Chain A
Amino acid sequence: MAPDVIAVKDVGKEYQTPRGSVLALDAIDLTVAEGEFVAIVGPSGCGKSTLLKILAGLLATTRGEVRLRGVPVVGPRRDIGVVFQSPVLFPWRTVLDNVLLPVDVQHLGRAENVSRALGLLALVGLAGFERHYPWELSGGMQQRVAITRALIHNPAMLLMDEPFGALDALTRESMNLELQRIWLKRRETVLFITHSISEAVFLADRVLVMTARPGRILEEVPVKIARPRSLDVMVAAEFGSIVKRIRAHFTARMGS
């Protein structure tokens, strides 16, 4: 078993509101091993984004601990790449300059990283677009730029918060294929948050099922479908039974 890149132990998060305290996350335990693709699936408002912000060091926990490569996360880290739901590109920067933003912020040296950036842009299928501005690109292309930016500083792991949630269904499917292709080439350690069960099963080695109020991880479902997975996998019996097993958690709760 590969060593854990991130280890979350008994993490809880409570928010103080005028109506009293709200428990957003309760006793979250999870680990992601080196080179592993883990997806967290849950309905909106289950605390997925809160958890991601805690992992990125943007929010403090009220309880428990997060360790990245054994070191406790107490604030923002330089070795995490985050992809948000919207591309979050700066419109005054070209595609290349957007990709190089982490390089500029962390003073990693532009000269050394420009060719790396161009290589990564080619990998995500954006060769020749480096001088374009974000508003000249489609939504799917903008999100590819965001992924490239998250990879440029060689982070220990990639946190993805519903990165394709704002895209239309067709673009979303092709972005899932693209992400798998990129991941198979680079074998990044990925924690991928989504509310789409089929997206989670399609992409991940392991799916963590999360439920709301308070946010809790109910079950861990391994996905042993061989890679590379094509979109046809989605109609296979194995895929369907995993999806069904995960969905049961949400329909059961809705019925109660």
Chain B
Amino acid sequence: MKRQALRALALIVSLLIWETAVRMLRVPAFILPPPSEVLLALHRGAVGNVYFHDLWITLAETLLGFALGSALAFVLGTLLAASRTAEYFLYPYIVMFQSMPKVALAPLVIVWFGLGLTSKVVTAALVAFFPLLVNTIVGLRSAEEDRVDLMRSLAATERQIFWMLRLPSALPFIMAGLEVAMVFALVGAIVAEFVGAEAGLGMLIQSRNFTMDVAGEFAVLFILAFMGLTLNWILVSIRRRVLFWDASEKAGPSAVVSS
């Protein structure tokens, strides 16, 4: 309780320092606006119902991209972990594709899928795909040898070993991969909106940038930060529920977001 109060106090103090510094040094508002103006911009937008539609669009792009990318990554990761042959033939392409910055594909994706929702979902999915793919493969191979021997000694089938042992053993890796994938999906959606979009928070940032409405830009950034934190918090809560048995969970709250 006391620590949380201190944390809130630290936030207020840093906002106050920002406010005073900007005012005393007479930094122009189009370079760095004081937080009070950002709050005003936030308020204006909220009252005028400016953000809701764009927020909803970006959220939908992120969640759909996350779901699509994660589902594909999980299926392909399972295939690669299960079959050495599949790994042998597919892995070179995956490594090649992985070392390329996926956001560089965004302009091409817009050409292929248009300015609407689809191109954003595809870009978000592309970016979210790899962290979970790698973690799924590593996780599914992480089952302890002793445990595999135990299952074999009971005459378990490969399918049983997968569902009863390999998949649960992989869950800590998969959950960590999902957390990264969520953040990446948001990055992918925003970058795709920068490249070309009709709506969304990324598009809003760009249009405000053009009109030098920097306070308004900051307001959108705050909304994005809040959105990212909320999405992450949801995944962390799910992880705590699913991985109650994992040693790293029992050790205490993890780094990213703790309550």
Task: State yes or no: do A and B come from one complex.
Answer: yes
**Of A76-84, A117-125, A192-200, the one with at least 4 CB within 8 A of chain B:** A76-84
Least Cβ–Cβ distance between B223 and chain A, in angstroms: 38
CA distance A110 to B246 in the complex (A): 26
Neighbour of A90 across the interface among B154, B160, B168, B247, CB < 8 A: B168
A105 close to B151 (CB less than 8 A): yes
Q: Count of A residues near B, CB < 8 Å?
A: 24
Tell me the chain B residues, 166-196 only, with Cβ under 8 Å from chain A.
168
Which residues of A are interface residues toward B (Cβ below 8 A)?
53, 56-58, 75-78, 80, 82, 84, 86, 88, 90-92, 101-102, 104-106, 133, 135, 153
Q: List 28 A-B contacts (CB under 8 A).
A: A57-B153, A58-B152, A75-B155, A76-B153, A76-B155, A76-B156, A78-B154, A78-B155, A80-B153, A82-B149, A82-B153, A84-B146, A84-B150, A86-B146, A88-B146, A88-B147, A88-B150, A90-B147, A90-B165, A90-B168, A91-B245, A92-B245, A102-B154, A105-B154, A106-B154, A106-B155, A133-B245, A135-B247
CA distance A160 to B172 in the complex (A): 31
Known: A78-B154, A90-B164, A135-B245. 8 other contacts (CB 8 A): A75-B155, A76-B152, A88-B147, A88-B149, A90-B147, A91-B245, A92-B168, A135-B247
B153 close to A56 (CB less than 8 A): yes
Q: Which residues of B contact A86 (CB under 8 A)?
A: 146
CA distance A135 to B243 in the complex (A): 13
CA distance A90 to B146 in the complex (A): 11
Neighbour of B156 across the interface among A80, A82, A105, A153, CB < 8 A: A105
B156: nearest chain-A partner, CB-CB? A105
Asked if B43 lies at the interface with its beta carbon under 8 angstroms from chain A, I say no
Tell me the chain B residues, 133-164 only, with Cβ under 8 Å from chain A.
144, 146-147, 149-156, 160, 164
Contact A105:B155 (CB < 8 A) given known A84-B149, A135-B250 = yes
Q: Which residues of A contact B150 (CB under 8 A)?
A: 82, 84, 88, 101
Least Cβ–Cβ distance between A240 and chain B, in angstroms: 35
Least Cβ–Cβ distance between B169 and chain A, in angstroms: 9
Candidate in B151, B246, B250 with the most chain A CB atoms within 10 angstroms: B151
CA distance A63 to B144 in the complex (A): 29
Q: Which residues of B contact A84 (CB under 8 A)?
A: 146, 149-150
CA distance A77 to B156 in the complex (A): 10
CA distance A75 to B154 in the complex (A): 10
Least Cβ–Cβ distance between B143 and chain A, in angstroms: 10
Tell me the chain B residues, 44-75 only, with Cβ under 8 Å from chain A.
none
CA distance A53 to B153 in the complex (A): 9
Least Cβ–Cβ distance between B167 and chain A, in angstroms: 10
B243: nearest chain-A partner, CB-CB? A92
